[in-house]
Amino acid sequence: MSTIRIRMKHLSAGPTGAMLPGKEYEVAPGHAQQLIQGRHAELVNGDDIAKLETATLRTPETAATRSAQSAPPANPAAGSDTPQRRPPQRGSTPGPAAPKAQ
């Protein structure tokens, strides 16, 4: 597997570790391309440009979405599709009934 040497401009951290600004790292071509396009890193060697140009980025998985035609109509009077609930107020729970005055 080929790797590309990059120099980080900004901190990048994730589950696999952290890449510190100013440090150089060897990463996969696709990862390097993402970091460089996002302006988080720069190439160290100019000869790696050919590797970078041939790198293919994976298409991220997307969640299923409804089209505007199949979505239920919005109720503008309601203000929101989800009902709003208020938190209970202090002292709002009913207690024992007070004795009636005679």
30 contact partners, CB below 8 Å, separation of at least 6: 55, 56, 57, 58
CB atoms within 10 A of CB 11: 10
pLDDT of residue 46: 73
Structural domain total, the chain: 1
pLDDT given for residue 92 in this prediction:
58
Range of the domain at 13: 4-54
Residues with pLDDT less than 70, the chain: 1, 47-84, 88, 91-99, 101-102
- So what's the pLDDT on residue 3? 87
At residue 30, the pLDDT reads 86
**What's the pLDDT score for residue 10?**
94
Is 61 within the bounds of a domain? Answer: no
> Does residue 38 lie in a domain region?
yes
Asked whether the CA dihedral 25, 27, 33, 34 is positive or negative, the reply is negative
For residue 94, being part of any structural domain is answered with no
The reply to whether 88 falls in a domain is: no
CATH of the domain at 13: 3.40.5
